[in-house]
Amino acid sequence: MFEKMDKDFILHSYGRNYVNFTKGKSATIWDSNENEYIDFTSGIGVVSVGHANEKVSSAICDQAQKILHISNLFMIEPQAKLAKSLVEKSGFDMRCFFANSGAEANEGAIKIARKYGEVDGEVKRYKVITLKHSFHGRTISTLKATGQESMHNYFGPFPDGFVYADDIDHIKSLIDDHTVCVMLELIQGEGGVEPQDLQKVQELAKLLKSKDILLAVDEVQTGIYRTGEVFAANLYDIEPDIITVAKGLGNGVPIGVVMTKLKDIFSPGDHGSTFGGGYLVTRAAYEVLEILEDYKTSGKLDEMMLYFESKLQNLCQDYPNIIEKEVGLGLMRGLRIKSATLLTSLINNAFEQKVLLLKAGRNTLRFLPPLTITKEEVDEGFIRVKKAFEMTKA
């Protein structure tokens, strides 16, 4: 019944799998037939503290019984508390703007950069350099910022001013008098779970600072302890001018954040969002941050990251005819598979074994488990993943 309803009334913009999940706990979820699955996707890096987390659920229920919406024309207490927590935990001297998604956060970053280029200097600076294979969102501007030509079909004309570098080394040669910002994912998610070279990123950050060009780091997928620190920028030991956040911050409630060192860049009316930073989402996100800070401080996060990595290394050793190499950092991991056909078979076979996996660019099998996944769930998940590999013919 629901499958037909979905097909009849929902735009077909997703390659749906018509399983109907009805409940979850930690990294385990159940469908409407009570079949149990291990979730190694966390809703594409969203459910960072696990399905049906009791503390987050309690915070949501408590807030829903008090007040849900008033508008950003008034102060919103949990929004202020969340902003303070994000800034203090990041270690960066910034202010926050709240939106509803990663794409909206990146739109905000682009607007910050464009206003900075308009205000300072005689020549208007507006160009934003991004990397090929990058992914920054699906709005018209963030889609154009995405360095994947195949995603640009049908949706032009696009805003001008986006330039694509082949890699970090190529960026310097693309800088001109109109360049105002470089936007980077320190680990490309949709582009294949591909980490950037630490030394090259640090050298780039110094170069941009010397030229008064902004560095915006897209942490929509890497942020909120996904790589082991609050932000991947902390891991890379750089200080961006702009950071964008979403996904794992809300554990399922829709939230996006732009954080910037340019504290006074916006004046009232320059930017806004009806729903951004409302009571419900900021109360939930504050709870997520508190949970993950405790988890990190206890050493359990680092322990789980090493444990999960060891499981991936075992797969590499056992299936060299299928796997080229392991990629990624923290609990944002991938296995580079030797062909797209093998990758599709692996994901389908894994689903048959009731473990959820993702694909990413460059023939990558992507793993984004909840950060608080248990060892028992990891063990059971990899038993099923191994069965999927056994079913896959190289």
**Helix, strand or coil, per DSSP, at residue 194:** strand
Q: Residue 215 forms beta bridges with which residues?
A: 182
Locate 394 and state its tokens.
């190289």
For the chain, domains (ranges, CATH) are 56-297 (3.40.640.10)
Mean pLDDT is lowest, of 177-181, 190-194, 215-219, 364-368, for 190-194
What pLDDT does 2 receive? 86
Q: Is the pLDDT of residue 100 over 90?
A: yes
pLDDT at residue 323 greater than cutoff 90:
yes
Q: Is the pLDDT of residue 119 over 80?
A: no
How far apart (Å, rounded) are the C-alpha atoms in residues 317 and 330?
Answer: 20
Distance of alpha carbon 208 from the chain centroid: 24
The pLDDT of residue 234 is above 80 = yes
DSSP run (H or E) holding 114: helix 102-119
**What is the pLDDT at residue 44?**
97
Residue 338 dihedral angles phi and psi, to the nearest 5°: -75, -15
3-7, 41-45, 307-311: which has the minimum mean pLDDT? 3-7
Task: List Cα–Cα distances, 172 to 203, 206, 240, 271, 393, in angstroms.
Answer: 11, 12, 17, 31, 44
Q: In the beta sheet, which residues pair with residue 217?
A: 184, 243
Distance CA 265, CA 305 (A): 38
Structure-token pair, residue 385:
């993943």
Q: Check if the beta carbon of residue 84 is closer than 8 Å to that of residue 56.
A: no
Closest C-alpha among 262, 264, 256, 260 to residue 223: 256
Does 222 or 17 have the greater pLDDT score? Answer: 222
Where residue 57 falls among pLDDT bands split at 50, 70, 90?
very high
Tell me how far apart the alpha carbons of residues 212 and 156 are, in angstroms, rounded to a whole number.
Answer: 31
pLDDT at position 1, please?
A: 74
Residue 362 has a pLDDT of 84
Which pLDDT value is given to residue 269? 94
pLDDT for position 136: 97
For 353-368, what is the mean pLDDT?
A: 95
pLDDT band at 393 (very low <50, low <70, confident <90, very high): confident
Residue 121: band (very low, low, confident or very high) from pLDDT cuts 50, 70, 90 = low
Question: What's 47's DSSP letter?
Answer: -
The two beta strands, 179-184 and 214-218, are parallel
72, 106, 286, 91: which is closest to 181 by C-alpha?
106
Q: Please provide the average confidence, as pLDDT, over all residues in the chain.
A: 96
Q: What is the dihedral of CA 319, 324, 328, 330, to 10 degrees?
A: 20
Residue-wise pLDDT tens digits, 136-155? 999 999 999 999 988 899 99
Query: What's the confidence (pLDDT) of residue 120?
Result: 60
Give 15's pLDDT tier (boundaries 50, 70, 90).
confident
79 vs 62: CA distance, rounded Å: 16
Is pLDDT above 90 for 62?
A: yes
Could you read off the pLDDT of 159-193 as tens digits, one per residue?
Answer: 999 999 999 999 999 999 999 999 999 999 989 99
Q: Give pTM, 2 decimals.
A: 0.95
Q: What is the pLDDT of residue 285?
A: 98
